[in-house]
Structure 1
Amino acid sequence: MDSVSHRAPGQAEAFATWVGEHVAAMARLVARLAPELERDDIVQESLTRAWLKRHQYDGRRGTPSVWLLAITADQVRKARARSRPHLSIVDDAPAGGGTPDDSLDLRRALAQLSERQRLAVDCVYFAGLSVAETAAVMGCAEGTVKSTLADARAKLRVLLEVAE
């Protein structure tokens, strides 16, 4: 038995149960925000951080999912800052139909968004969070999320040459 579990009998198991249903969403967010980084390591770092800060969780300020995704987004930012640029081999075949060029164009366009715009787009469109939940993850107001999404959509329209 590790020292943390020994000092807090039952707490580790309760925490594992509490976060268990959110781990997949955390992994998806890491994959969207930083596909070039090691997803499992960042999720593990996020869970460790959540364990250490578990006493700070306040259900009145958001759901466990939002709290954990905010921690995950922060850990991605830290991991990106620590990582050195390296080449990544990616399968460019689209997952849901379309041509490989469509998928590649979208990836390139998304990569040209600012980090803040990518986070907003990933949270709302890929992680399925509401604007309020995205605001909690990003640590900003809902209006800021809406504005950031509008700017991101406008930029994507130009980059992808999509008519309104």
Structure 2
Amino acid sequence: MTGEPVVGVLGPPGDAGAFVEWVRPHLGAMARLAARLAVGADRDDVVQEALARAWAKRSQYDESRGTPSAWLLAITADQARKAVRRTHRGLVLLPDDESRRPDLDARMDVEDAVQALPARQRLAVDCYYFADLSIAETAAVMGCSEGTVKSTLSDARARLRVVLEVSE
């Protein structure tokens, strides 16, 4: 050994400046994903929690297992899920009020339709279409295979097609 510090992808251990530069290009995607997944929670808080978690786990990043973007977005998705659970923990459900129900014949917009998807399909749609991740990066965020992402996206598109179909 030469006694020199080991320099990894993120620079020397504990180098906050290298970490900041490494994370900076991904902040926009992290913010977009947090906003989409953590409806009702503060997007910036979710991103901040994700960055703190990434800093704490930076030694676990392995570039052979995926891109920095996918790793950071997986952490962001996890923090968004936690934020939603915290936000919804204290909610009280009110009895259904017929007068507040939306007209079933009214056209549903895309945002409502995406929000109505099952959680796994919504995550795939948010990552692939709204965060502009590749299939491989979406698979890394979701913790599944690329084939599963393709199948999940196909199922989501089929469901959205039915929900958004306008009968004439």
Amino acid at match of 1:149: L
| Structure with more of its chain in helix, by fraction | 1
Deviation at 1:130, TM superposition (A): 0.9
Instruction: Tell me how large the CA RMSD over aligned residues is.
Output: 2.1
Task: Give 4+ residue runs of structure 1 displaced > 2 Å after superposition.
Answer: none
TM-score computed with the length of structure 1 as normaliser? 0.79
TM-score normalised by structure 2 residue count: 0.78
Amino acid of the structure 1 residue aligned with 2:56: L
Percent identity among equivalent residues? 66
Q: Which residue of 1 is the match for residue 149 of structure 2?
A: 145
d(CA) in 2 for partners of 1:111, 1:42: 19
Write the letter of the residue equivalent to 2:73.
L
- Counterpart of 2:71? 67
Aligned position for 1:38: 42
Q: Which has the larger radius of gyration?
A: 2
Q: Aligned match of 1:58 in 49, 59, 62? A: 62
Match of 1:118 among 94, 119, 122: 122
Q: 1:132 to 1:162 in 2, by over 3 A?
A: farther
- Alpha-carbon distance in structure 1 between the residues aligned to 2:156 and 2:15: 42
Q: Unaligned 5+ residue runs, structure 2?
A: 1-11, 93-105
Q: Which residue number corresponds to residue 76 of structure 1? A: 80
Partner of 2:163: 159
Is there any run of 5+ residues in structure 1 with no aligned partner, and where? 1-7, 87-100
Structure 2 distance, partners of 1:75, 1:139, is 15
Aligned pairs, number:
141
Amino acid at match of 2:75: I
